[in-house]
Amino acid sequence: MDDSSVVERGRNLIKDLKSHVIDTFSKDPRGRLQGEGLGNSEIEKLAGLEIPLDRPPSKKQEHWLTWTIVQRLVADGFVEPVFTKKTKYRLTGMSDHHT
């Protein structure tokens, strides 16, 4: 694989992850437009994106993949934060035209 095909594959993986997370939101009423929202760990479990790391609790970094994808979807306008005790997320109207 040359460098350009490696980069293209990475970009396609990110696009696929974004679509997968949007599909995950749409399958749960809490994640849909006007829903109460889903927390990051709920999104992670529902999407099957849990990556367990064998580290002490203070060093846990296993939620970063999902968090990063969700933050990109917020920046792209497909997902919006819902501020409660803990921030949750739900789809916006733009999610019908996702990635």
| pLDDT tens sequence across 31-57 | 999 999 999 999 999 999 988 777 766
Question: Which pLDDT belongs to residue 84?
Answer: 86
CB 98 within 8 A of CB 72: no
| pLDDT tens sequence across 59-83 | 666 778 999 999 999 999 999 999 9
Nearest-angstrom CA–CA distance, 2 and 70? 30
Output the pTM of the full model: 0.85
Q: What is the mean pLDDT of the chain?
A: 89
CB 93 within 8 A of CB 99: no
Q: The tokens 């109207």 sit on which residue?
A: 93
Q: The tokens 């993986």 sit on which residue?
A: 13
Nearest to 38, CA basis, from 19, 47, 25? 25
Question: Which pLDDT belongs to residue 51?
Answer: 84
Question: Which pLDDT belongs to residue 80?
Answer: 97
Q: Which domains does the chain show, CATH number per domain?
A: 3-97 (1.10.10.10)
